[in-house]
Chain A
Amino acid sequence: RKEVEQDPGPFNVPEGATVAFNCTYSNSASQSFFWYRQDCRKEPKLLMSVYSSGNEDGRFTAQLNRASQYISLLIRDSKLSDSATYLCVVNSQAGTALIFGKGTTLSVSS
Chain B
Amino acid sequence: AQSVTQLDSQVPVFEEAPVELRCNYSSSVSVYLFWYVQYPNQGLQLLLKYLSGSTLVKGINGFEAEFNKSQTSFHLRKPSVHISDTAEYFCAVSGPNDYKLSFGAGTTVTVRA
Asked if chains A and B come from one complex, the reply is no
Residues of A within 8 A of B (CB): none
